[in-house]
Structure 1
Amino acid sequence: MISLTSYAFVSMMLFSIGVIGVVSRRNIFVIYMSIELMLNGVNLFLVTFARYHFNMDPQVITIMVISIAAAEAAIFLSVIILLYRSRKSLDTDIFTTLTQGEKS
């Protein structure tokens, strides 16, 4: 049987890898995927302690977070497509200003 600390370690590693991805990368899509990785680490942590304490409340919250993340993914990916069409790149240095009139 796998212990509680093993699940907590995996969830902390997922969250840490996500933080490193957000801080170190410049591609908007990679940053978004790192944020999703952090969210999955938190969800795993919630489910782990819900199972340990025999409580269903964190599991319900996790299911709600997953469903909201699915809707958020569709919106964020459409924004990424619009940004790519307007600037032909996904590098975050290009998006310092969000005015439509400026061309780079």
Structure 2
Amino acid sequence: MNNIPMEACLAISTLMFFAGVYGFLSRKNMIMVLVSLELMLNAVDLNFVVFNRYLYPGQMEGMFFALFGIAIAAAETAIAIAIIINIYRNVKRIYIDENITELKH
């Protein structure tokens, strides 16, 4: 990573984050919303690593924050998938706009 400029890494992270925001706001499928959320979390983890690498090259705090973030994202994904499966069993579809109106009744 020493040969890659910091701005390039941050540009990739920004693109990943905004692709996740777009997917989160525009998708109607709960699984795709979850994938978009994971993309945003991975962009944040990439920022942790990049800033650690360039600000404190000999230390590992950013790497530990990224690993902690990955562990939290994995736990969040497991819970979200369990919720989505439970909703599917009750309503028989996983589209957000249809489920919201169904769950209101």
- Identify the TM-score tier after normalising by the shorter chain: 0.7 to 0.9
Task: Give unpaired runs (5+ residues) of structure 1.
Answer: none
Cα distance in 1 for residues equivalent to 2:38 and 2:75: 13
Cα distance in 1 for residues equivalent to 2:73 and 2:14: 20
1:61 to 47, 54, 65: 65
Shift of 1:65: 1.0
Shift of 1:13: 0.4
TM-score, scaled to structure 1:
0.88
Q: Which residue of 2 aligns with 1:47?
A: 49
Of residues 71-80 and 43-52 in structure 1, the stretch that sits farther from structure 2 once superposed is: 71-80
Shift of 1:70: 1.2
How many residue pairs match? The answer is 100
1:83 to 84, 87, 94: 87
Shift of 1:62: 1.2
- What SS does structure 2 have at the residue aligned with 1:26? coil
Structure in which a larger fraction of residues adopt helix: 2
Query: Percent identity at matched positions?
Result: 38
Of residues 6-15 and 53-62 in structure 1, the stretch that sits farther from structure 2 once superposed is: 53-62
Q: What RMSD, in angstroms, separates the aligned Cα atoms of the two structures?
A: 1.4
Which amino acid is 1:84 matched to?
Answer: Y
Q: Which residue of 2 aligns with 1:33?
A: 35
Which amino acid is 2:63 matched to?
Answer: Q
Task: Give unpaired runs (5+ residues) of structure 2.
Answer: none
Cα distance in 2 for residues equivalent to 1:69 and 1:24: 21
Which amino acid is 1:20 matched to?
Answer: Y
For the Cα contact (< 8 Å) 2:24–2:33, is it kept in 1?
Answer: yes
- What SS does structure 1 have at the residue aligned with 2:78? helix
TM-score, scaled to structure 2:
0.87
Cα distance in 1 for residues equivalent to 2:95 and 2:76: 21
Question: After the TM superposition, which parts of structure 1 deviate over 4 Å for at least 4 consecutive aligned residues?
Answer: none
